[in-house]
Amino acid sequence: MIRNLLGSLVALAGAASAVLSPFRPWYDGRLGRDYRVRDLFEGITLTESGVLVSILLPFLAAAALVVLGAVLRSRLVTAFAGVVVLGFTVLWMVRQGQAAGSLAVSGDGSGLRVGVVNALAGGVLMLIGAALMRGRRNRGAGRGRRREPSGEPFAVPPADQVDTWPPTREPGMSVQTSPWPEPEVDPYTGPDPRAPGDPHPGDPGDPAAGEDPRDPVHPPHRPPPT
């Protein structure tokens, strides 16, 4: 975001310089707005030009492209605006050189003037601003790639980690590998009060097994002698 902001500011400064340049002298005291756009293709003449049909017109279009590129954070649009400014400025220099026989810079006010420098600097600043901008990232495409299913099934968990729930491997429902009900475990009833080795109640070796067939496991207690 910082790079986009910095690049936009540099490009806007270049657009301001390019739009200002036609109002300053370009060659031998003649303002840039006095050159017609058609003169750049047909040859430089001494005919005066209106403001809206002068070299200011492509520079205004380039400035509008810079504003659009800053809003859209588009490096391509901003760079194209810089190419337009530099292209028209270089084309004017070629036509002016053909008309005057040569291009020169003189200290007495003749030759190339500050308006040309403003135009060239504006185009270069637009290109620098486009290079500084990071551009707009395609977030929608990134989200689509992340949500795209891989098409591969989840791997079977190891035998010692069956109580995991894919794909996060967090503890979840138990995995029952048998179709039959799980066997119930007898509740713990405490330690056996009988001595080790004594037969269980109801076993063939238990002497009290035949006293009360109604309850071979828990025979009734005999009343104490009176």
Quote the pLDDT of residue 142: 47
Instruction: Look up residue 146 and give its DSSP letter.
Output: H
Judging by beta carbons within 10 Å of its beta carbon (0-12, 13-18, 19+), is residue 167 exposed, middle or buried?
exposed
Query: pLDDT tens for residues 121-158?
Result: 999 999 999 999 987 766 554 455 555 555 555 566 66
**164: helix, coil or strand?**
strand
d(CA 178, CA 208): 42
d(CA 49, CA 31): 10
The residue type of 33 is R
User: Minimum mean pLDDT among 30-44, 67-81, 146-160: which range?
Assistant: 146-160
Q: Are 69 and 78 in contact (CB under 8 A)?
A: yes
Quote the pLDDT of residue 206: 53
- Structure-model confidence comparison of residues 163 and 119, the more confident one: 119
d(CA 119, CA 124): 9
The answer for residues whose C-beta is within 8 angstroms of residue 172's C-beta and 6 or more apart is 163, 164, 165
